[in-house]
Chain A
Amino acid sequence: MLMLAVTTFVFIMYFITDLVPVYKNKQWKLFWAYSVMMAFAYVLLFLISIGIDIDSPLKPVKRLIIAIWGLK
């Protein structure tokens, strides 16, 4: 819960300091890029804070490297 609270606080601060001026200046590409990236990060942090295990995206990379190089 504390992790979620801290995460939410940090994200709100960044939204206020960064995203509001971008919205006011009508920089829509930056606005959407910023929002999508932050939303994705927030969702993942939310899932981690409630104890959901997220698989590492490196696992397939590791399997591929082991397969290509024949590592044990």
Chain B
Amino acid sequence: MSKESITQKQSIVMMITYMLGSSMVLGAGSEAKQDVWLALLIAMLMSVPVMYIYIRFHVIYPDKSLYEILNTVFGRILGKIVAIPFIWFAFHLGALVLRNFLEYIKIVSMTQTPMFAFAIVMIISSIYGVRAGVEVIGRWTSIILPFLMLSVLIVTVFLSPLFDFGNLKPVLYNGFKPILYNAISALAFPFAETVIFTAVLDKIRDKRSLYKIYYVSLIFSGIVLIIISLRSILTLGAENVGNMYFASYAAVGLIDIGDFLERIEVSVTVVFLFGGYVKNSICLYAASTGIANVLNIDNYRQIVAPVGMLMLVFSLIIYNNTMEMFEWANKIYKYYAIPFEVVLPLIVLIVAEIKIRLTKKKKRA
């Protein structure tokens, strides 16, 4: 089987779509209300050193995925043990993303249809995409992202007559603490979720472009998220955004141009679903490659189907209802995710750097 490789452009589009995937639907840092734009800007700044950790993995071990790096740094047995939290995070995140979209579809359009119907279709598509390979996901995302951006642009333009800039005031009404709190939330979801890409970016052809991939993706997706969040605040108002489950969808529903261009939420939903598919596929890819590494299975493709089915099951049982999902996302997730996204990668990087320096000293001696 030929070695997979992805181009710099494919990596950037995958990462952008990954970061935007579920955050376009759920919103990021939305509890900051009218100061959400400040929270997102601060989250982007906070993401810079965090992403530097992920980039550094690929700089010091250019041709290795995250799991191969863990085996090299910690040894075969301890490396597999340390890989388990990362595999769990990728698996859990995939299930969370799947459930986010199941709830979204159920609430906004198909209220009577059982969630399982969408879930099985989405997960079979993800299994198919991951088995086709990360190259195929990259090529597909390169086609989809322009449509995603076009939909964001069109909706923003059509909503612009309804913008009330007074909704952004008063700035810093509740002080800086809620903004910082929500910036950490936005860091955890979605920016630092790019830790999953450490299992993917060993496939990139040009290793020199890693800084560009991460930081261009961060800036682009950050700006798009700020636009989407601001759009909701400017049209609906901060209080209404806080009371809604899917504020961006509600904002799109306000579009009514000349009595003929209205009810375009469905077309926007379809585009959003593509973003969710990419995010779910990448999480499934990361979990499958991790499990293949732990079980010493040569080809991760052979284990994708059972991992996907388990992800489907998990997505159906993690929450009892939409309220629980939002409670987890807004209240709990940042405390849960930061250890997997920041603390654990930092520990691994420190150990890796120490090991490399000791190896260099031994070679000189």
Q: A residues touching B (Cβ–Cβ < 8 Å)?
A: 3, 6-7, 10-11, 14, 18, 22, 29-30, 33-34, 37-38, 40-42, 44-45, 48-49, 54-58, 61-62, 65-66, 68-69, 71
Contact = CB atoms under 8 A, between A and B. Distances in A.
Contacts of B306: 33-34, 37-38, 41
B303 interface: yes
B317 interface: yes
A61 B336 contact: yes
Contact of A29 (B124, B296, B305, B313): B296
Contacts of A7: 120
B328 interface: yes
Contact of B310 (A22, A37, A66): A37
Given A29-B296, A48-B317, A62 B305 contact: no
Given A14-B305, A33-B306, A41-B306, 14 more contacts: A6-B116, A29-B296, A30-B303, A34-B305, A37-B306, A38-B306, A38-B309, A41-B312, A44-B313, A48-B313, A48-B316, A62-B332, A65-B332, A71-B335
A22 B295 CA distance: 15
A41 B314 CA distance: 9
B311 to A, nearest CB: 9
The A interface, classified by DSSP as helix, strand, loop or mixed, is helix
B31 to A, nearest CB: 13
A65 B317 contact: no
12 contacts: A30-B295, A30-B297, A33-B297, A37-B309, A38-B306, A44-B313, A48-B316, A48-B317, A49-B116, A55-B317, A62-B328, A68-B335
Contacts of A37: 303, 306-307, 309-310
Nearest to B307: A37
Nearest to B127: A14
Given A40-B310, A65-B336, A22 B302 contact: yes
A33 B295 contact: yes
B114 interface: yes
Contacts of B116: 3, 6, 48-49
A31 to B, nearest CB: 10
A9 to B, nearest CB: 10
A41 B309 contact: yes
A34 B331 CA distance: 36
Interface of B: 114, 116, 120, 124, 295-297, 302-303, 305-307, 309-310, 312-314, 316-320, 328, 331-332, 335-336
Contacts of B320: 56
A22 B306 CA distance: 14
The B interface, classified by DSSP as helix, strand, loop or mixed, is helix
A65 B335 CA distance: 7
A38 B309 CA distance: 7
Contacts of B114: 3
Contacts of B124: 10
A37 B230 CA distance: 44
B120 A10 contact: yes
B302 A18 contact: yes
Contacts of A58: 318-319, 328
A12 B132 CA distance: 21
Nearest to A71: B331
A33 B303 contact: yes
A9 B306 CA distance: 15
A54 B296 contact: no
A4 to B, nearest CB: 10
A66 B336 CA distance: 10
A41 B123 CA distance: 13
B114 to A, nearest CB: 7
Contacts of B336: 61, 65
A70 to B, nearest CB: 11
Scoring A29, A58, A62, A69 by chain B CB atoms within 10 A of each residue's CB, the highest score goes to A58
